[in-house]
């Protein structure tokens, strides 16, 4: 299923802030987590993600730093700032109103989401990686 462009645009910032609230991540890792969390129904591209990360960094909602991965490769990680935490709380309140309004109008998911709907590999840290998926970027050809 392809997620509508407008819906993606409206949800990308809260999703990024939420992911970074849980743990610091690098770009490819964020893309993989969204893919796994959506059970492979929503795929973000690097071309969509990195400009948003850059804007969030300019607004000081997130900050980046370089860290060496277990492979020895240096990666650019992103983390939520205090200002980002405040913004995430503000967005949570707005999403609550949107969700309640949709629900009140009878717009709901076909099936209620429960723990059984969470993809395999989504533990307390919400890593949401499927068997065989890796946090590592694919090798460059």
Residue-wise pLDDT tens digits, 2-22: 888 888 889 999 999 999 999
Name the fold adopted by 5-105: Arc Repressor Mutant, subunit A (1.10.10)
- Which residues, at least 6 apart from 38, have a Cβ–Cβ distance to it below 8 Å? none
pLDDT digits (tens, 9 = 90+) for 113-131: 444 444 433 433 444 444 4
Instruction: Dig out the tokens for 39 from the structure.
Output: 């059970």
Print burial letters for 51-68: b (CB count within 10 Å at least 16), e (below 16): ebbeebeeeebbbbeeee
Helical packing angle, 27-37 and 5-22, nearest 10° = 110
pLDDT digits (tens, 9 = 90+) for 77-110: 999 999 999 999 999 999 999 999 999 999 877 7
Length, in residues, of the chain: 141
């Amino acid at each position: 299923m392809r997620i509508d462009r407008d819906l993606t645009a409206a949800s990308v910032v809260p999703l990024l802030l939420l992911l970074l609230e849980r743990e610091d991540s690098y770009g490819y890792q964020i893309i993989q987590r969204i893919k796994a969390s959506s059970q492979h129904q929503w795929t973000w591209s690097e071309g969509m993600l990195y400009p948003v990360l850059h804007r969030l960094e300019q607004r000081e909602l997130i900050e980046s730093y370089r860290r060496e991965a277990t492979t020895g490769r240096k990666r650019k990680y992103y983390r939520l700032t205090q200002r980002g935490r405040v913004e995430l709380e503000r967005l949570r309140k707005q999403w609550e109103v949107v969700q309640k309004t949709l629900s009140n109008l009878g717009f709901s998911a076909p099936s209620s989401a429960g723990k059984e709907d969470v993809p395999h590999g989504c533990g307390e840290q919400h890593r949401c990686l499927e068997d065989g998926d890796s946090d590592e970027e694919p090798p460059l050809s």
